[in-house]
Amino acid sequence: MIIIMLGAQGTGKGTVAGILSKETGMPQVSTGDIFRKNINDKTKLGVEADKYISKGNLVPDDITVPMVEDRLTWDDAKNGVILDGFPRTIEQAEKLDAILEKMGKKVDLVVNLVTPREEIIDRMVTRRICSNKNCKAGYNTKLNPPKVEGICDKCGSPLIQREDDSDPEAINRRLEIYEEKTSPLVKYYENKGVLQTENVSLSINRMGADVARDLLEQIRQRN
Ligand code: AMP
């Protein structure tokens, strides 16, 4: 099953994808995480990608698309994947369709997370991740704080803020890019009949974990 998580930064895509992955065994393929790991490891791909990511811009398709195409061929992806952060443009969506078609697969479900903009910005600013690149657990200092401030519950490593979350210019740039380049994907997948929109907001007391629980129910019914 191919699931895509759609939604602006800070809507909880990673949280929902992480729960779905844990419960279904399908890997969470986060292009942002793959880039950050490469940046950390100072690989050639990481050095190149960082030029764009640090400014809040999209990494070009000639780097991003082959990276995803390769990831889809890994053994753990044979029963499906949860794509988190890809596709981000209509061009990427079309390229993904072509890649999946060659593999005899298709996009089965696109989960579109929607959150009010004020909440999004607040969540990006309060988001923290584990600095241990093999753990990378996610926290939020307001909504999901660790037991000990600044320390990962799972592995005890220090928590850090993503560089692009601490720079207001990069945050705004990413939200602008989302509106301009990624939001047209809502219509693209709606037309294909695979879109499911989910509101995630404190104001309706519905967070990522609630959405994930309902989605798991649906996925189990499909299988
Ligand atoms: P994320 O963790 O999904 O917010 O991604 C962090 C950054 O990685 C983004 O702001 C982009 O610079 C880059 N990135 C992640 N996914 C993609 C993608 N599908 N296409 C281009 N750039 C991406």
Mean pLDDT of each 10-residue bin along the chain, 223 residues long? 95 93 95 92 94 93 96 95 97 98 97 94 92 88 94 96 88 92 97 97 93 94 81
**What is the pLDDT at residue 166?**
87
In a domain, 128, yes or no: yes
Separation of CA 221 and ligand 1 centre (Å): 32
> Which residues are the active-site residues?
13, 88, 127, 162, 173
Separation of CA 31 and ligand 1 centre (Å): 6
**What is the pLDDT at residue 177?**
93
Pocket of ligand 1 (CB under 6 A): 9, 31-32, 35, 52-53, 56-59, 64, 85-86, 88, 92, 164, 174
**What is the pLDDT at residue 163?**
85
In a domain, 53, yes or no: no
Stated pTM of the model: 0.90
138 is in which domain, residue-wise? 2-27+74-222
Q: State the total domains in the chain.
A: 1
In a domain, 52, yes or no: no
In a domain, 100, yes or no: yes
Closest ligand 1 atom to residue 86 Cα is: 19
Q: How far apart are CA 128 and CA 22, in angstroms?
A: 20
113: phi > 0 → left, psi -120 to 50 → alpha, else beta; which? beta
Distance of CA 208 to the CA centre of its chain: 12
In a domain, 55, yes or no: no
**What is the pLDDT at residue 223?**
73
Query: What are residue 122's phi and psi, to 5 degrees?
Result: -60, -40
